[in-house]
Chain A
Amino acid sequence: MSTSTAFQTSFWPIEDNSAAETEIEEAEVTHHRLSENVKVYAIYKETGDRKFPHDRLRPVMFIWRNREYRVQDVTYVWREIQGQAEVYHFTVSDGANVFELSYNAKALDWTITGTYSE
C-alpha cells in the first residue's frame, strides 16, 4: 500500500486549501426548474449538418400554461445524451424572458425545463 497524488477530480475545480471562507450569497440569476410538456411549433430544415444537426430545428412559438409565446431569438442550442435519447436544449427568448425548451429526439416530445430571469 502506498500513497499517490494522481487523482482525477470532478469537472468543477474545488477550493484551494489556502482559501478563507465566508457566507456565500445567493446567486443573482433566478432559475425556475420545470419539467412540463409543452406544445411547440418549430421549423425543421431538411438539409444541413447531419452529425451536428443543432441548426436544423428551430422553435418559433410555444404554448405553455394556456399562454402563447412567440420566440424572438434562439440564444443557444446544445445536445445532451440522456440514456439512449438525444435531447436538444434550446434557450429561447420572447423578448422579455428566457426559457429552456428541450426536445427528446427519441420520444419526439417537447418539455419546458426552465425559465430564467435576472
Chain B
Amino acid sequence: MAVADLGQSAIGNRKSEIARERVVMHVDMDAFFASVEQQTFPFLRGKPIGVCGDPDGRTVIAAASYEAKRRGVKTAMTIPEAKKLCPEIILVGGHPAKYVDTSTRILALYATFTDLVEVFSIDEAFLDVTQTAHLFHGPEVIARSIKAYIKEHFGLTCSIGIAPNKLLAKLSGEMHKPDGLTIVGQPEVAALMETLPVQELCGIGPKTQEKLNRLGIKTCGELGRYPEKQLNGVFGIVGSHLKHLGQGVDENPVRPYFHEPATKSMGHSFTLDRDTRDLAEIQRHLLQLSEQVGRRLRKDNFAGRTVSLVLRYADFSTFIKQHSLKTYIDDGLRIHQVGMKLFGELYQPPRLVRLLGISVSGLVRDLKQTTAFENSRAGSLFESLDSVNDKYGEFSVARVIF
C-alpha cells in the first residue's frame, strides 16, 4: 500500500488542513471483476485474464486483470483485439450476481463510516466523511480500515483518493493504482492541476479534449487560467464549468444512493450467438427480452408507455425506433407486440441481424388502479406466473410463440 508522495509528517500536517475542508473519499476497486475471479480461482492469480460475458460468444472484455492491462488490454476491447495484444490471455465468463453481491457488501461497509455514500458505478463510490471522520480518528484511518476489511473479507484491493471534492478525490485515487492511498489537500491542488493533461479530468472526453487542444489548452493549469468568456464562446454554458474543473473546483455534493433519481427506463439487449435473418429466431429472442423487461417492470410496480427497439446489423450499423402508446403497459407479450411492429418498420431484409434490444420508458409507478393502465384480464395470470418464477427462479415458466 502506498501513501503517495507523502511522508508521515506531511500526512500529519495534511490532517489538520483537511479538517477545515470538505473531506471526500473516492474508493475504486482495482480491476474489480478480474480480481474477484482471480480470488475465486487461485490458478488465475498472477496471470493475464479478461472477464467477458461469454468466452465463447461475441461480447467484449468487461474487465482485464492488471497482468493483462500491462500488455495493453483495455475494457471494452473485442476479444480478438485483446488476443492480438496478449495471446496468452485467459478468458473467463463473468458472474454478475457475484459482483453485485460483493459490491452490495462493500457498500454496506462504507455506510458504517458515513451515510453520505454515492454509488458511482458497481466498483466505485464517493464517501463524504466531513462530519464523521473525527469519530474514526480521521479520514486516513477510515481509508486504511476500508482497505484492510476488503482485503481480509474478499481478498481484494482498492485504491482510495482523499481530497476536498469529488473531482479531486477521483483524480487523486487514480494517481496510484493498484492498492494506492493518496491524500490531496487544498494547498497541493494548484501544483497538481498545473501540469495535469486535461483528458485526465472526469467529464472531458476525446471531443472536448480536441476542442480544448485547438484553443492551445493542453493542461488543467492552462484551462484554469483561460478567459471564461472565450471558453463560453466555444462551449456555451459548459465553458464556466470547464474552467472550474481546470482549477480543481467542484462543488457537486456526494449524493447518497438512496436519493438517486427515479428510474427512467428499463430495457435489455442481447447479441445473438450468430448473425441471422431467421424471423422466427428473431421473434423468439424479442419475446424473451420483452418478458424480461415486463417482469422487471412488474417487480418494481412500474408501467410505461413508450417502447424502443434497437436493431444492429452484422455490419454494426445500428437503428433505434420507438413507439408511444396511449396506455401504460407492463406485459411482456404487449411489449413484444409493439417491438415486433417496430421491427417490421425497421428491418431491411435480407440483412443479417446481430443484436436486438428492447426497452420501455415513460415510466410511472403504482398505476394499476387508474384507468390509464392496460389492466387486462391477463393480470391475474401474470401474478400467477410471477409467483411461480419468484418461487422457483427466472423463466421457470414462460410464454412461447409458435
Which of A19, A31, A84 has most B Cβ within 10 Å? A19
**Known contacts A8-B359, A24-B58: does B40 contact A2 (CB below 8 Å)?**
no
* Chain A residues, CB < 8 A from B389: 83
* Chain A residues, CB < 8 A from B97: 78, 80
Are the CB atoms of B78 and A19 closer together than 8 Å?
yes
Stretch of A39-47, A48-56, A63-71 with 4 or more beta carbons under 8 angstroms from chain B: A48-56
Partner of A26, one of B56, B92, B308, B393: B56
Are the CB atoms of B101 and A4 closer together than 8 Å?
no
Distance between B229 CB and nearest chain A CB, rounded to angstroms: 32
Are the CB atoms of A17 and B317 closer together than 8 Å?
yes
Q: How far is the CA of A5 from the CA of B308 in the complex (A)?
A: 9
Chain B contact residues: over half helix, strand or loop, or mixed?
mixed
Closest A residue by C-beta to B263: A8
Distance between A79 CB and nearest chain B CB, rounded to angstroms: 5
Distance between A80 CB and nearest chain B CB, rounded to angstroms: 4
Distance between B51 CB and nearest chain A CB, rounded to angstroms: 9
B residues 143-198 near A (Cβ < 8 Å) are 153-155
Are the CB atoms of A98 and B58 closer together than 8 Å?
no
**Known contacts A12-B62, A13-B76: does B265 contact A75 (CB below 8 Å)?**
no
Are the CB atoms of B153 and A55 closer together than 8 Å?
yes
A residues 63-117 near B (Cβ < 8 Å) are 73, 75-76, 78-80, 82-84, 89, 91, 93, 98, 116-117
* Chain A residues, CB < 8 A from B312: 14, 17
Are the CB atoms of B94 and A83 closer together than 8 Å?
no
B contacts with A, residue count (CB < 8 A): 69
A residues 13-27 near B (Cβ < 8 Å) are 13-27
A contacts with B, residue count (CB < 8 A): 50
Is B138 at the interface (CB under 8 A from chain A)? no
Partner of B321, one of A3, A8, A118: A3
Is B85 at the interface (CB under 8 A from chain A)? no
B residues 254-281 near A (Cβ < 8 Å) are 264-271
Are the CB atoms of A7 and B392 closer together than 8 Å?
no
Partner of A4, one of B56, B91, B94, B322: B322
Is B227 at the interface (CB under 8 A from chain A)? no
Chain A contact residues: over half helix, strand or loop, or mixed?
loop
Are the CB atoms of B269 and A7 closer together than 8 Å?
yes
Distance between A102 CB and nearest chain B CB, rounded to angstroms: 12
Are the CB atoms of A5 and B80 closer together than 8 Å?
no
Closest A residue by C-beta to B323: A1
Q: How far is the CA of A98 from the CA of B323 in the complex (A)?
A: 49
Distance between B140 CB and nearest chain A CB, rounded to angstroms: 25
B residues 359-373 near A (Cβ < 8 Å) are 359, 361
Are the CB atoms of A91 and B60 closer together than 8 Å?
no
* Chain B residues, CB < 8 A from A89: 98
**Known contacts A14-B271, A89-B98: does B78 contact A6 (CB below 8 Å)?**
no
Q: How far is the CA of A15 from the CA of B59 in the complex (A)?
A: 6
Are the CB atoms of B56 and A24 closer together than 8 Å?
yes
**Known contacts A16-B78, A54-B105: does B56 contact A76 (CB below 8 Å)?**
no
Q: How far is the CA of A27 from the CA of B57 in the complex (A)?
A: 10
Distance between A4 CB and nearest chain B CB, rounded to angstroms: 5
Distance between A90 CB and nearest chain B CB, rounded to angstroms: 10
Closest B residue by C-beta to A95: B42
Distance between B291 CB and nearest chain A CB, rounded to angstroms: 14
Q: How far is the CA of A108 from the CA of B390 in the complex (A)?
A: 18
Identify 23 residue pairs between A and B in the complex whose beta-carbon atoms are under 8 Å apart, listed by A's number: A1-B321, A3-B321, A6-B265, A7-B308, A8-B265, A10-B268, A10-B269, A10-B357, A11-B96, A13-B76, A17-B316, A20-B81, A21-B58, A28-B90, A52-B105, A55-B153, A83-B389, A84-B390, A91-B41, A98-B42, A98-B43, A116-B41, A118-B43
Sorted nearest first, the 9 A-B pairs with minimum C-beta distance are A27-B55, A17-B316, A12-B53, A76-B40, A19-B78, A8-B267, A22-B80, A78-B98, A80-B97
